[in-house]
Structure 1
Amino acid sequence: MASPLFFLFFLLSSIPGGAPDLVSDRAALLAFRSSVGRAVLPWNDSTTPCSWLGVACVAGRVAVLRLPAVGLMGQIPVGTVGNLTALRTLSLRYNALSGGLPADLAKCSQLRNLYLQGNRFSGEIPAFLFSLQNLVRLNLAGNDFSGGVTQEFNNLTRLGTLYLESNRLSGEIPELNLPNLAWFNVSFNQLNGSIPSKLRKMPAEAFMKTGLCGGPLGPCPGEIPPSPSPSPAAEGPAGVEGEAKHDKKKLSGGAIAGIAIGAAAGVLIILILVVLLCWKRSSSAGKTRSLEAVPVGAKPPEVAAAGGDGGAGEGGNGNGASSYTAAASAKGEAAGKKLVFFGSGERPFDLEDLLRASAEVLGKGTSGTAYKAVLEMGTTVAVKRLKDVNLAEKEFRERIEAVGAMNHPNLVPLRAYYYSKDEKLLVYDYMPMGSLSALLHGNRGSGRTPLNWDTRSSIALAAARGIEYIHSTGPSASHANIKSSNILLTKSYEARVSDHGLALLVGPASAPTRVAGYRAPEVTDAQKVSQKADVYSFGVLLLELLTGKAPAQALLNDEGVDLPRWVQSVVQEEWTSEVFDLELLRYQNVEEEMVQLLQLAIDCAAQYPDRRPTISEVVVRIEEIRNSSIGAADRGQQQDQSMDDGDDQSSRRTNSIEGTKPSGSET
């Protein structure tokens, strides 16, 4: 009798509805795909679900389901994601899911991160969510939820992020006692009443476009603001009090007179400044028309192929070609000026050839405008027209010749330059594949070719080698403008660092905003950037490569913070694959190497400079990671030979992501 009972138990535990295991998770995922993602989820039914797009496993169970912006549609039924009882991260943001949330999601008691923003979910916020007491991040923004913000949110004692903006929530906000809450937003709802006392530390943006009042939005009607301490005059005898009031009136009159005089002086100063500005513009109107024939103002292209800083989204025109009339200031001055080439080789073209070349604007950046110029003999070059350069000719030539002397296979070579009083042009080799920024953040549609692990790690290594060479030219030598739009690519996706040396040419007006999102916290003068600050910027670049997130667009990130802090916020709770770009999750056989590179990125982006490695140490570590990933690729070829083996290997590999914290993280 024992044998049939054992067989029955084994059979029940091997089918959905039996003891939870990877088989039941697989059935739940297939039911989910059948309901809301049949046409958009390319899951291979014959392989382990741990290798499916957007799925990651821990200890033989599905722990992560990340499917942002993949085109899911419809209502999530019961018996799908609710059966993934080992789920820790569920990210279905920016799809077209509708209706209410499935009630059996309450069974996912280990859920820590729930990202549902940007869908069409409706109804009241379901009560079962408040039983998920391990939730750390809850994002329901941009849906159609109604009802109120209830007291039951206090059950989620571990909650650090609560985003509810852009719904149809109404009523008052109760007093929320969430000790770990750091990120909160209920803007663009129909809420009213007074902001609870413990939420008044949040910024005003968290409550915009609501009927709320108090705290950062100013006092509510009838609310008495804190009264100032009484003055000694107010506490004295009646006669003294009368004198104080009389003096106060006199002071008010004097203050009014002072304000009137100040306002008149201010108007006069403004008029003088306007006159001076108009005079300056009129006196220089004939001197700054050297590139007027190149059309401006049109939509920029998605790639930048000159000396960086002219990447996607920074302005410019990529629509067709035009006459490249770089008549560098007046004709009389141009006649006495020539292109200055570097090296002792032949001069393949001269200034007149450059001026006659057809050209298109690649982009406008902080250091100038980049053009693709096609010469009559068929040669294609990239030309950067600098702006905000106020150096004397001798100083300019000294600095630019130091840049031209740099020779390394991972730098974009500077071929020639032109200097006149009103025009400074730099001529580079043309990089046909554009910038890393465009490659990462450009077209993400169905026709996009995913950027695989090997290409990303190769770009990281090549960029690090280029920066290492720059640092080797002197103890204080730095790039000072490291970012993805300054990493350009050849036809074979070989990375070249561009814009090196330009930080010392442009004026202070351009410097402060040049490296937004990449600048190290200790940098106050963007023209004085240390080598360790370069390493910080490179660390952000590595995070950008691994996460697919643009650091300059901090508000688009899930947590509304800069990229290093967002990664740290995930690491502080536990290690999850939520940080990785969705396009990288398909490369299951190199997850350990991805973790190692992410660890290196975090080390580089350390808050304090002395905790960051040197760029030479960075190069060595990336080389080691690349070498180990070659062995991992060989292992991956054997991964799909049997499903059982694949399950075990995938679980072990993903467990290294879920269970490991980088040494620089807080515990």
Structure 2
Amino acid sequence: MAVAVSRAVLLAAVASLACLAFAEPPPSERSALLAFLTATPHERRLGWNTSTPACSWVGVTCDAAQSTVVQLRLPGVGLVGAIPPATISRLPNLQVLSLRSNRIIGGIPDDLLQLSSLRAIFLQNNMISGAIPSGVGKLAALERLVLSHNNLSGPIPFALNSLASLRSLRLEGNRLSGKIPSITNPELKDFNVSVNSLNGSIPQALARFPADSFAGNLQLCGKPLPACSPFFPSPSPAPGMSPSDEPGAVSNKKRKLSGAAIAGIVVGAVVVVLLLLAAIVLCARSRRRSGPREGPKATSAAAVGQTRGVAPPASGDVTGMTSSSKDDMGGGTSGSAAAAAVAAGAGTGEASRLVFLGKGAGYSFDLEDLLRASAEVLGKGSVGTSYKAVLEEGTTVVVKRLKDVAVARREFDAHMEALGRVEHRNLLPVRAYYFSKDEKLLVYDYLPNGSLSAMLHGQPRTIILFSFLKPNLLVVHCIESPSPPLPS
């Protein structure tokens, strides 16, 4: 009886082994592997023979039942060219893809991102170019993404933050640019974006990684790298505030002007008046000699406003302005109430907040966030300097810091309110502004569309409008590129 049982067990084992020996992945997976090998030149012979089971091919690993392909590992086999579409993506249960250390070119095929079972992608040390597709965020099971030492460009997609199982992200040695997205996944243990062209501040969620993970990005700053330096000093207190009203300020005694200084000021004023009188006399004589001529028509602020479609602001009209800070984002006052609050706070700290205009009320930052932002100089002009400011939360804006603008608070508010009502596709609207006695800032949307020269010469009939503030006058300029010739 025992001998019969042992024979039955032995026969069952032999039968199961025979079944495994003849088990084979579906024909669709076998044809997908052969299509990939046929379409991709390779220097080493892989020995993929149609007469042998696919699970025994070099680099191909099947599951325990030998019924489906779960791994494709072909590192350093001399693959040349792009990954052919509709080949590897026909392996629906593929979990590991390793094609590292070859000469693969082109971009990452979109159909690879349909393999929902992928847990690891190793494509490092190739010549892959283009951007990292945002569809990588659909790979919910992905644990390792290694794309280092390629020619990838563009930003790091924020979709990586949705990969809850991601443990390793290696992107070093590429040409990636822009800000690093805040990846808050606590499972991420291996992270490296060194030797790229990234900029801005390092997100706080990634500051736990060593400095070597961010080295080689000259425009990166923040922990663990050196701190980001603000692009302009803290604004001066609003009108009516003494230095002692600021926290931590030290009161200083006012120094009286000496008699020599007063005399010098008086003499200088007299000289300036005499020069002005002399200039007026010379102009009058030259007009008499040349005869009456039609002078240029004076353009008032109201005329300028009508020319551009902007009605001159009434003295009591303050509709459209919203004053905002982090403390009152939930129930901020808008319209005339906001303007009244700003006017009433001209002698207190309320006037030192940003005043948002029009669609700028959708921003969620305040003056303190703006002062902490990392920035770069976009350009300098006769009325001030423009900066590209990248806030810690990821928002990018343009800040224009005005200089030598002597204007009263009421007139400044009126000009800003009128400018904030203008909405035109060729006009970059002002979204917010800051006013104090010695500091005036304008905040615009950031448009990453290249330089003015590219806009003028790269597109026909491009109209660029920009504005700046002078005392008691809102000046608007318009530049129009030449029209292309009409087709014959």
- TM-score tier, shorter chain, comes to 0.3 to 0.5
Greater percentage in strand = 2
User: Which one has the bigger helix percentage?
Assistant: 1
TM superposition score normalised by structure 1: 0.30
- Give the greater-gyration-radius structure (CA): 2
